[in-house]
Chain A
Amino acid sequence: MQFSIIVASPVRLPLMARPVAAGFPSPADDHAEGEIDLGKLLIGNRPASFIVRVSGDSMTEARMFDGDLAIVDRSLMPLNGDIVVVDIDGERSFKIWRERHGRVTLSFANARYPEFVLREGAEVEIWGVVANTIGLGRRCEIRLTKAR
């Protein structure tokens, strides 16, 4: 089954309930303020934003879980502590980005992982910066725990 895409058709939640008024018009009508656009909230720069799926558990301490959706914004410059999508020798993955004195380090966000070491002479290119995540994976994890 296919779903409509988030970028093209934003999810809209009504900000005010507007029942059909058979008698008097609703006094709230004059105060209606439109809708909260969840798409706009999650996606800052549409043409540069891509929705991707997270696979793996190396980012759990950055609250990014297996199965989550991440919104990657390619127009953002990474700041210290940002989760980035990075191509290392043609392999695309998530890492934490830090820069100190002009030296960039990349790391996992999970204490159970060994320290990430970049191969000498590796080709590294930042593909984009994670602007938001949608925690679908985490919810599944909780459900599984309860079931047990």
Chain B
Amino acid sequence: MSGQRSYALSDGNAFYCSCERVFDPRLARQPVIVLSNNDGCAVARTAEAKALGIRMGAPMFQIRDLCRREGVRVFSSNYALYGDMSARVNAVYRDFSPRIEIYSIDESFLDLSDVRPDQRGSLARDMRSTVQRWTGIPTCVGIGPTRTLAKLANHIAKKNPGLSGVCDLSDASVRAAWMARVELAEIWGVGAAGARKLMALGARTVADVASLDPRRVRQAMTVVGERLVHELNGHACLDLEQMPPTRKGCAVTRSFATRVTDLPTLLQAIAAHATRLGEKLRREGLGTDHVTVFVHTSPHDPGTARSVSTTAGLPEATNDTLVLTRAAQDAIRRIWKDGYRYAKAGLITTDLVPLANAQRALIGGYDRERSAALMVALDACNARFGRGTVVPASAGIVAQRAWATKFEKRSPRYTTSLDETPVIRAA
């Protein structure tokens, strides 16, 4: 396609917190935070919570007293809810742009190249109010000729309430004025090390980086840095990634709610992980011919640390839960050592292959038809009656898993479970 490209980046403000607020009107003006897995640390904060000084990633044990004193409403992550709300928000985006790239659970890029430049701002404002009205989620939208500039515009929209949630950097002079006011650390993809390198080249603001010689930046930061300079000058190097690339690897890892000190409990946990891995692979028609298992202690615990992993090979690629479970448990038995307090375990696979055209083993291959039929039945039961209804006996009964991740303050799964729909008063 010819002509200037245009991208928008739209994201939900304190997305997890906003999801909670949609279903509880009393949260509207209260400070709200949402915790990470195992209720470890704050991963989403409303403006009111930020104003109390709660940092991103603040460990819960450090802010517990503050939260109690200030009446902060604290929630465990409710992924079923956030995933459903994210799908709704993206459905609205699709009404406004024919091409979108879902970048994360709360951020999407939209292609606005076919929208007249003078209409992009009003389209973004219209989209923003539609998302708010339909789903209850407040968003910010940034617009620019490259994805890097759209991301920068989104940052500016968020930090400047006067812009009412929309910042359009399509116009070169508008862009130059803003870029001179934003520090280079805010550039998408520039981490602490990158920022140091750019500052060593004499840059301080985003505008400074844009005016650097791309070749010098390339020397300091490889081709990634050079691309950054081009993107900041309005030359698009990155287009939308619409098709999720075929998954190359897959991991299932969890922290334990309490430390694990015996082998049977660990074997049960690893079997549950293998069950989940099988589900994930089957959903995408992929298989693997090896699994890597790991287990480690917590860096926060006193005493000696231990972190081990090993890989178990399989005769041929499979996604059969029973085969994966057996292989993972055998691997765990090989690396198990008594006397440690294990905090986390997981399974990792790489080099996934589409099972339909995977090479068959000459010897020791699996009976795929039989295995496939069993797995279809297993997945159907779990889809119908809820995840964890049918699992290998070695994975333990879901309700009795002492090691399972903690979600103590999770709100109801308002939109995905008929037992947990919002109850509204007719009185």
Instruction: Indicate which residue in A4, A54, A93, A125 contacts B384 across the interface (CB closer than 8 Å).
Output: A4
Instruction: Indicate which residue in A46, A59, A125 contacts B426 across the interface (CB closer than 8 Å).
Output: A59
Instruction: Indicate which residue in A46, A48, A54, A125 contacts B424 across the interface (CB closer than 8 Å).
Output: A54
Interface: A43 (CB within 8 A): no
Known contacts A5-B417, A74-B135; is-contact A55 B423 (Cβ 8 Å): yes
Distance A74 CA – B425 CA, assembled complex (angstroms): 17
Interface: B242 (CB within 8 A): no
Interface: A3 (CB within 8 A): yes
B133 touches A74 (CB 8 A): yes
Known contacts A47-B88, A74-B133; is-contact A91 B425 (Cβ 8 Å): yes
List residues of A (2-30) whose CB comes within 8 Å of B's CBs: 2-8
Known contacts A51-B421, A74-B133, A74-B135; is-contact A93 B427 (Cβ 8 Å): yes
Distance A35 CA – B35 CA, assembled complex (angstroms): 43
| Nearest B residue to A110, CB-CB | B426
- What 0/1 pattern do residues 82 to 111 of B give for CB contact below 8 A with A? 001001110110000000000000000000
- What 0/1 pattern do residues 42 to 54 of A give for CB contact below 8 A with B? 0001111011111
Distance A108 CA – B418 CA, assembled complex (angstroms): 26
Interface: A1 (CB within 8 A): yes
Which residues of B have CB within 8 Å of A92? 25, 422, 424-425
Interface: B415 (CB within 8 A): yes
Known contacts A74-B133, A74-B135, A90-B28; is-contact A50 B415 (Cβ 8 Å): yes
Interface: B383 (CB within 8 A): yes
B421 touches A93 (CB 8 A): no
Interface: A82 (CB within 8 A): no
Instruction: Indicate which residue in A2, A51, A56, A90 contacts B25 across the interface (CB closer than 8 Å).
Output: A90
B424 touches A93 (CB 8 A): yes
List residues of B (1-52) whose CB comes within 8 Å of A's CBs: 25-26, 28
List residues of B (198-255) whose CB comes within 8 Å of A's CBs: none
Known contacts A47-B135, A74-B133, A75-B134; is-contact A5 B424 (Cβ 8 Å): no
**Min C-beta distance of A123 to chain B, whole Å:** 9
Distance A53 CA – B416 CA, assembled complex (angstroms): 13
- What 0/1 pattern do residues 400 to 427 of B give for CB contact below 8 A with A? 0000000000000011111101111111
Known contacts A46-B91, A90-B28; is-contact A56 B383 (Cβ 8 Å): no
Distance A99 CA – B61 CA, assembled complex (angstroms): 51
Which residues of B have CB within 8 Å of A85? 424
Q: How large is the interface on A (under 10, 10 to 19, 20 to 34, 35 or more residues)?
A: 35 or more
A66 touches B426 (CB 8 A): yes
Instruction: Indicate which residue in B89, B414, B419, B426 contacts A94 across the interface (CB closer than 8 Å).
Output: B426
A53 touches B384 (CB 8 A): no
| Nearest A residue to B25, CB-CB | A87
B135 touches A58 (CB 8 A): no
Which residues of A have CB within 8 Å of B421? 51-53, 69
Instruction: Indicate which residue in A4, A50, A74 contacts B422 across the interface (CB closer than 8 Å).
Output: A50
Which residues of B have CB within 8 Å of A127? 25, 136
Distance A64 CA – B91 CA, assembled complex (angstroms): 30
**Min C-beta distance of B279 to chain A, whole Å:** 16
A5 touches B415 (CB 8 A): yes
Which residues of A have CB within 8 Å of B419? 1-3
**Min C-beta distance of A47 to chain B, whole Å:** 4
| Nearest B residue to A85, CB-CB | B424
Distance A5 CA – B426 CA, assembled complex (angstroms): 23
A47 touches B426 (CB 8 A): no
A58 touches B385 (CB 8 A): no
Which residues of B have CB within 8 Å of A48? 88, 133-135
Known contacts A46-B91, A87-B25, A91-B25; is-contact A74 B134 (Cβ 8 Å): yes
Interface: B386 (CB within 8 A): yes
**Min C-beta distance of A107 to chain B, whole Å:** 12
Which residues of A have CB within 8 Å of B136? 74, 127
Distance A53 CA – B420 CA, assembled complex (angstroms): 9
A58 touches B134 (CB 8 A): no
- What 0/1 pattern do residues 105 to 124 of A give for CB contact below 8 A with B? 00000000000000000000
A57 touches B135 (CB 8 A): no
**Min C-beta distance of B172 to chain A, whole Å:** 36
B92 touches A47 (CB 8 A): yes
Distance A29 CA – B133 CA, assembled complex (angstroms): 44
**Min C-beta distance of B283 to chain A, whole Å:** 14
Distance A75 CA – B26 CA, assembled complex (angstroms): 22
Which residues of B have CB within 8 Å of A54? 424, 426
Known contacts A46-B91, A75-B134; is-contact A4 B383 (Cβ 8 Å): yes
**Min C-beta distance of B94 to chain A, whole Å:** 9
Distance A118 CA – B47 CA, assembled complex (angstroms): 30
| Nearest A residue to B88, CB-CB | A47
Q: Which 9 A-B pairs have the closest CB atoms?
A: A56-B427, A48-B134, A2-B386, A56-B426, A47-B88, A47-B91, A3-B418, A87-B25, A59-B426
Besides the known contacts A51-B415, A64-B426, A87-B25, 20 further A-B residue pairs in the complex with CB atoms under 8 A apart? A1-B386, A2-B385, A2-B386, A6-B418, A8-B416, A47-B88, A47-B92, A47-B135, A48-B88, A48-B135, A55-B424, A56-B427, A58-B426, A70-B424, A74-B133, A74-B134, A90-B25, A92-B425, A94-B425, A127-B136
